[in-house]
Amino acid sequence: MLARTELCLRTAAVNCRFQPSLTATNSYHTTIPSKSQSQYPQTSRPRLLTSKKSPSQSTSQIVRYASTTASTDNTASTAQPPSSSADRLTWNAFFKLRKTRRRLQLGSSVGTSFGSMLAGAQALAVSDMDSLVGQVPLDPFITLGLITFSCGGVGWLLGPIVGTGIFNTMNRKYIPDMAAKEVEFYRRVKKFRVDPSASSMANPVPDYYGEKISSVAGYRQWLKDQRAFNKKRTTYVA
């Protein structure tokens, strides 16, 4: 009886040992998933091809862009022409150029006058002027002298034109600014000059056209002279 029972237990143990279902269930629990795998299951996701930059790299890039912009602005500012105040004609320079032009006009008048006199004398010496001299009721030498001096006078009148042309050729870049300054100057002279109808021998008009003004200080002195003239006129009338 005991032997039979032991034989049945051995047979049952052998059958359980070679049963495939028991071995399969045991193999399923052999690998324990990790904590990371259980929380974040592995799935096939497409990856974005983007490069992550560190804060230091982005900061350096921002600084580089800012410096490039600043340098571009500086380059643009330096490429622009300088301030117009440095290139514009000042009042003192205007008066100096005006004095130079007057001297050139005077010198040209002297030169053209002598040249015209010489040309007139040579023309009178070569040509026959008896018929013309005979029509003037004066001595022939006086008549020839008057004709010669008349040629010199014509040359004197042509002198300022020649002097102005020489001056414009020498100072071509200052002509537009000088013309604008001249308009403003004569506008001021016309505005502040005195009334010449109130002049007298004791109180003459002080430089009515402003021709003697050769500097800013001279213009201020001219204004003082105009005020002094008006003060004398009111005092004399009173």
Domain boundaries, the chain: 88-174, 193-238
pLDDT band with cut points at 50, 70 and 90 for residue 147? confident
Give residue-wise pLDDT tens across range 162-210: 999 999 999 999 999 999 999 999 999 999 999 888 888 888 889 999 9
pTM of the complete model = 0.57
Give residue-wise pLDDT tens across range 19-51: 554 444 444 444 444 444 444 445 445 454 444
Q: What is the DSSP string of the chain?
A: -HHHHHHHHHHHHHHHHT-HHHHHHHHHTSSPPPHHHHHS-----PPP------HHHHHHHHHHHHHHHHHHHHHHHHHS---HHHHSPPHHHHHHHHHHHHHHHHHHHHHHHHHHHHHHHHHHHHS--HHHHHHSSS-HHHHHHHHHHHHHHHHHHHHHHHHHHHHHHHTGGGHHHHHHHHHHHHHHHHHH---GGG--SSS--S-TT-TT--SHHHHHHHHHHHHHHHHHHHHHH-
